[in-house]
Chain A
Amino acid sequence: MGRHVLAIRVATLLALWAAWEIAARSGVFYEGIIPSSFLVLRSMARHAVDPVFYGHMARTVYEVLVGFALGTIVGLVGGILLGANRFADTAAAPYLHGLASTPKIVFLPILMLLFGAGPGSKIAMGAFSAFFPLVIAVAAGMSQISPVHIRVARGFNASFLQIVRTVYLPSLVAPALTGMRLGLGVAIIGVLLAEIKFSDRGLGHLAIQHYNFFRVADMYAVLLLTFALAVLANAVMGQAGRLLIRRPVSA
C-alpha cells in the first residue's frame, strides 16, 4: 500500500513536470507565460542565495505572524465570551457570519486609512482575516461542551475565570486548532494581497514586481517559494496541534 501510494505520487509529479515542459517548449502558449522549468529552478536557486529576497521574506513572515497572533488572541477571547452567553451569541451570529464570508481584502482601504501604508495595515489585514474563522469555530466549540461539566464546575463554586481555565480551554483545543489553521491560511492570503496592492516590501510585492517587469520565471520562483513557506507553516501548525491533542492540557 505505502509503496503504491509513493509510486502514484512519483508518477503524478513526473507527468505534471513533463506536461509543463512540453507546454513550455511546444510554443502553443506565448513564450513568456510558461517558462521552462529549468529557468524557474535556476531563478529559485538565485533567490535562495539573495539577501534581498530574505528581506522581503522577513517582512512577510513578520506581518503574518503578528497579524495571526493578534487575530488569534482576540478571536479566542471573543469566541469564549460569545459561547458563554447564548443571548449574545444569537444576537451576533448573523453579523459574524455575514462578515466572515465577506472577502476581507475590501477592507484594506479602511485599514490603510487607519494604520498607514506600511506594515501596520498588513498586520491589521492578517489579524482581521484570522479573527473570523477562529471566533466562529470557538463559539461553535463552546456549544458542544457538555453542560454537565460546566454545572459540576459551578457546583464546586468555580469562578468564571476558573471555569475558562479548567473546562472551556481544555475542551476547546480541537475546534480552536481547526479555526487557527483556517485563520492562518486566510491571514497569509490577506497579507500577500495587501502587499500586492500597495507595499514596498514583502513576498507579494516581490512577485508582482517581477510580473510588472515581465520576469515570468522569477515570478514563478517567488510564487513557488511562497507556497512552500505557506505549506510549511500549515504543517507546523498541524504538528503542534497533534502534540496538544495527544497530551490534553492538565488543569
Chain B
Amino acid sequence: MLGGAYENWIAALFSAPLILLYPMFLVVFGRTPAVCIAMGFLVGIIPVILKTREGFMDVKPVLVNVARSYGAGDAEILRTVLLPAARPAIFTGLRLCLIYAMINVVGIEFLANLGGLGFLVGEMFDRYDIPAMYAALICLILTSALFYTLTGRAERWLGGR
C-alpha cells in the first residue's frame, strides 16, 4: 500500500531534473565534495528503489509459495528466492543509478568549480587549452566505462554462484 501511495511520486521525481537543486546543496553543505555526494545519493537512490520494487513485484508467487511450503522463513525467502529472482531488475536500477549519479556529480563539478574531472574539463576549456580538455574528457570517459564494467562484473559474479 505504501508502494501504491509513493510509486508515482518517486517516478515523477525520477523525471524531474533534480540537479537544479544544487545551489541549495551548495548553501547547506558549503563548497565541499559533500555537495556532490549528497546530490549523487539523492538522484541515484531513486532508480534503485523503483527497479528493485519492480523486480520484487515480478517474482512469480509460485516461487515464494514453494519456498514457504518447505518451511522457509521471511529472511530465508528474501535471500534465496526474492533477491536472486529480482537480480536483473536490481542491476538495471544500479546501472541507472550509476549513470545518473555520474551525470549529477560531474555536472556539479563542471558548473560549480568544485574540483574533480568535471571541473578540469571546464577549466581547460576556459583557458582555451583544447588538447588538455580532450585529455580530461578521455579520462572521464574511461572512468565511467570502468564503473560500468565493474557493475557488469559484479552482476556476473553474483549470478555465477
Is the Cβ of B20 less than 8 Å from the Cβ of A207? yes
B75 is an interface residue with CB less than 8 A from chain A: no
Bound: A211/B21 CA distance, A: 11
Closest B residue to A108 by CB, please name it: B110
Question: Which chain B residues border A182 with CB–CB below 8 Å?
Answer: 96
Question: Which chain B residues border A98 with CB–CB below 8 Å?
Answer: 141-142, 144-145, 148
Bound: A33/B104 CA distance, A: 21
Interface residues in A, total, Cβ within 8 A: 51
Q: How far is the CB of A128 from chain B (nearest CB, A)?
A: 12
Given contacts A101-B144, A102-B140, contact A231 B19 (CB under 8 A): no
Is the Cβ of B102 less than 8 Å from the Cβ of A103? yes
Question: Which chain A residues border B142 with CB–CB below 8 Å?
Answer: 98
Bound: A234/B1 CA distance, A: 24
Bound: A12/B1 CA distance, A: 14
Q: Of B4, B95, B98, B106, which is within 8 A of A105 by CB?
A: B106
Question: Which chain B residues border A105 with CB–CB below 8 Å?
Answer: 103, 106-107, 110, 118
A161 is an interface residue with CB less than 8 A from chain B: no
Q: Which of A150-158, A183-191, A239-247 contacts B (4 or more CB under 8 A)?
A: A183-191
Is the Cβ of A103 less than 8 Å from the Cβ of B118? yes
A30 is an interface residue with CB less than 8 A from chain B: yes
- A221-251 to B contact mask, C-beta < 8 Å, 1/0: 0010011001101110000000000000000
Q: Is the interface of B mostly helix, strand, loop or mixed?
A: helix
Q: How far is the CB of A246 from chain B (nearest CB, A)?
A: 20
Given contacts A109-B121, A234-B12, contact A101 B28 (CB under 8 A): no
Q: Is the interface of A mostly helix, strand, loop or mixed?
A: helix
B147 is an interface residue with CB less than 8 A from chain A: yes
Q: How far is the CB of B85 from chain A (nearest CB, A)?
A: 20
Is the Cβ of B145 less than 8 Å from the Cβ of A230? no
Bound: A230/B43 CA distance, A: 15
B133 is an interface residue with CB less than 8 A from chain A: yes
Q: How far is the CB of A88 from chain B (nearest CB, A)?
A: 19
Closest B residue to A191 by CB, please name it: B17
A91 is an interface residue with CB less than 8 A from chain B: no
Is the Cβ of A231 less than 8 Å from the Cβ of B102? no
Closest B residue to A112 by CB, please name it: B125
Question: Which chain B residues border A106 with CB–CB below 8 Å?
Answer: 106, 110, 117-118, 121, 136-137, 140
A174 is an interface residue with CB less than 8 A from chain B: no
Is the Cβ of A192 less than 8 Å from the Cβ of B20? yes
CB contacts under 8 Å to B, within A105-146, are 105-110, 112-113
Is the Cβ of B98 less than 8 Å from the Cβ of A101? yes
Question: Which chain B residues border A196 with CB–CB below 8 Å?
Answer: 20, 111
- A202-231 to B contact mask, C-beta < 8 Å, 1/0: 001001100100000001000100110011
Bound: A86/B95 CA distance, A: 23
Q: Of B6, B23, B99, which is within 8 A of A211 by CB?
A: B23
**Quick one: which of A99, A100, A103 has the most chain B CB within 10 A?**
A103
Closest A residue to B43 by CB, please name it: A189
A-B contact pairs, 22 of them (CB 8 A): A8-B6, A33-B27, A97-B145, A98-B141, A99-B141, A103-B118, A105-B118, A109-B125, A113-B130, A182-B96, A186-B103, A189-B103, A189-B107, A192-B17, A196-B111, A197-B110, A204-B20, A208-B23, A219-B23, A227-B16, A227-B20, A230-B17
Interface positions of B (Cβ within 8 A of A) = 1-2, 4-6, 9, 12, 14-17, 19-21, 23-24, 27-28, 95-96, 98-99, 102-107, 110-111, 117-118, 121-122, 125, 130, 133, 136-137, 140-142, 144-145, 147-148
